[in-house]
Amino acid sequence: MPALEMAQETGKLIAWRKKEGDSVIKGEPLFEVETDKTVVEVEALASGILAGITSYEGAIVPVGVTIAWIVAPGERPPATPTTPAASARATTAQSRPPTAAAPASEQSSTQAVQISPKARRLARERGVDLNKVRGTGPDGTITGDDVLAAVQLQTTFAKSDAPVPARTGALSSVARLMAERTTQSWTTVPHFFLARDVDAGALIEARKKSAPEVEKDRGVSPSLSDFLVALTAKVLEKHPIMNSSWTGDAVRLNPEVNVSLAIAVGDGVVAAVIPRANVVSLGEISALRASLAERALAGRLHPSDVAGGTFTISNLGMYKVDSFTAIVTPPQAATLAVGAITDRVVPIDGKPDIRPMMTLTLSTDHRVADGARAALFLNDLVEAIREPPKWLR
């Protein structure tokens, strides 16, 4: 079990991409692990044959414990697992989800049959009772195909006039993790919220002027989110308290400004990190943001892509949302929620005018910063959006 984060002690095994006896090529996806931030794909560190798997879906395994071996063709994994591997098996037994509320006799019969990780996942997602599935794999192992065949059989023989039972869709790993983390944050972090409207005319103009140069240099057109990342990072330099973290009993000032950008993926959200956003160029931010978004949508983010964020930006402007409040991502101090840019009638020098306006809502952890400090940060951010060239020189 690899260490994917600095303070990580355990990892939750979500799925194997290969099964026992499969050939493995160095660098190809091997299994998925859930961290405190997201679900990441772990690549094989060597080529060979996957053997001696000791941990399965749902296992919470200590970092450094052996969960499988990659051996040479014809080679066998150690016959007697080491003490850490035995510990992993014990953890697996405790964390592996039970098979519904089946009688003890049925549970024992299910445990006696070999079940592939994919079959367990499909059975859980499709509501299939594994006690009623006949395995066609080696030594009677129940495979994913066996579960899908059972689903098809149930569908074929279902009566058209039968009442449709209420069903609950299974959450994906990312959606479930997001639900857990947001619940934890909302119930433990003392939030407060500040909102400001800002004229985005200068921001739009700055994007138009810089787009040709950035696109020529980096092959990607800068988005308004890229500008917001760059400007927010510059303002965070001036207000380090808003770039700090709550450690449980103290406030830690972070040495780097690493801006997390919320990205919608399937039925969840991941926060990909733009490291050192205060010192890299706008073009570098645009190129990295485009790469992160592409990998996030493909489910191929690396652990380093989601680690080390010190401040989060969530932009729902592209969804035509005028304004919203976001939940703070612990241990970060704050999250900025960005609404859509819309034409509004506003007073300019005492006269009504139509301007492209945008609403910013800052969510802050009150343990880290008070209202006055958060307000000063938001005031400077508004000024930066009004004069982007001044802050991005």
> What's the chain's average pLDDT?
83
Calculate the CA 173 to chain-centre distance: 9
Instruction: Say what the pLDDT of residue 155 is.
Output: 58
For residue 117, the enclosing domain spans: 98-159
> Could you say which of 76, 96, 116 is where a domain stops?
96
- How confident is the model at residue 137, as a pLDDT? 66
Based on the domain organization, do 11 and 64 belong to the same domain? yes
Global pTM reads 0.65
Catalytic residue ranges: 366, 370
Amino acid at site 187: T
**Domain CATH for 23:** 2.40.50.100
**Residue 308 · residue 223 · CB < 8 Å:** no
Q: Domain check: are 278 and 305 in the same one?
A: yes
Q: Are residues 80 and 134 in the same domain?
A: no
> Could you please report the per-residue DSSP string of 97-116?
PP-TT--HHHHHHHHTS-B-
Please indicate, yes or no, whether residues 143 and 208 belong to a single structural domain of this protein: no
Q: Rounded to an integer, what is the distance from CA 88 to the centroid of its chain?
A: 25
pLDDT in tens, 149-189: 777 666 554 544 455 555 555 666 667 777 888 888 999 99
Question: Tell me, what's the pLDDT at 100?
Answer: 38
Reduce the DSSP state of residue 329 to 3 states and report it: coil
Is 306 a member of any domain?
yes
Q: From CA 243, how far away is CA 362, in angstroms rounded?
A: 13
Same domain, 92 and 102: no
pLDDT of residue 169: 59
Domain membership of residue 165 (yes or no) is no
Q: Concatenate the DSSP letters of all residues of 122-191 into one string.
A: HHHHHT--GGG----SGGG-B-HHHHHHHHHHHHHH--TTS------PPPPHHHHHHHHHHHHHHHHS-E
Residue 168 domain-assigned (yes or no): no
Indicate if 69 and 103 belong to the same structural domain: no
Kindly state whether residues 147 and 226 are assigned to the same domain: no
Residues of the chain below pLDDT 70: 5-8, 35-38, 80-113, 136-139, 152-174
- Tell me the β-bridge partners of 354: 345
Q: Do 53 and 188 fall into the same domain?
A: no
